[in-house]
Amino acid sequence: MSLKHALLGLLSYEPMTGYELKQFFDSSIQHFWNAELSQIYPTLKSLEDAAFVSKHVEVQENHPNRKIYEITETGREEFLRWMRTPTPPADLRDPFLIKTFLATEVPVEDTLVLMRRQMEEHQKAIAFAETVLRPRIQHAVEHEKFTTKHALYWTLTLEMALAYRRAYVEWCERAMALLEASLLDDASAEPRSGRGHASPPESA
């Protein structure tokens, strides 16, 4: 996803500071995309240079001044152009799959431990989405300026993220079952292998 277009989209809701944009990412989008302040501020600067956003400073007496960014008409046109452009499927890049691919180089027991931890992390993400993110979407519609249409589209992204997480957990469960079966096969093969190479008895 293009961070600059994501920021333009969020600013189409309302003007925000860089910190408020970061909060929006953390509270509503983190289940499929994350952005740090170290990425957000330089991107806002480039958007301002391109005249896609404008900035004004709100002076505060007892707090640091607020730099508030607002999408311009040119920025809205660029955002809508991007929204209407077809998006190719995202590449699957998962460091854990590299470890799985190369797992012949370590004991099976080590891979099982890592796979269980990986599964537990996805289970935690599922629980967070169901107990925190889903109620947060509902709260935004009931108590803020957003509509049921916002909730519909936001929920669609949440459901996609949950489907991915659940599929990952199921894959981990199947993979662990196969690896545990391979351990049993190896254990049962060792005695047969030993008997097959037994030395004949010495003659009297």
pLDDT tens by residue, 78-134:
999 999 999 998 888 999 999 999 999 999 999 999 999 999 999 999 999 999 999
Say whether pLDDT at 197 is over 70.
no
The HSE-up count of residue 109 (CA atoms within 13 Å, CB side) is 2
Q: pTM (2 decimals)? A: 0.80
Q: Is 17 helix (H, G, I), strand (E, B) or coil?
A: strand
- Beta-carbon contacts of 68 under 8 Å, excluding residues fewer than 6 positions away, are 15, 16, 17, 55, 56, 57, 58
Distance CA 93, CA 153 (A): 25
Tokens 């008895």: give the residue.
Answer: 201
Residue 145 is encoded by which pair of tokens? 């300026």
User: What integer pLDDT is reported at residue 28 of this predicted model?
Assistant: 84
Residue pair 53/69 in contact (Cβ under 8 Å)? The answer is: yes
Query: What pLDDT digit, counting tens, does each position of 119-152 carry?
Result: 999 999 999 999 999 998 888 888 778 899 999 9
- The DSSP symbol for 178 reads H
The strand order across the sheet containing 53-58 reads 16-17, 66-71, 53-58
How do beta strands 16-17 and 53-58 pair? unpaired
Distance of CA 107 to the CA centre of its chain: 29
Tokens 């152009």: give the residue.
Answer: 81
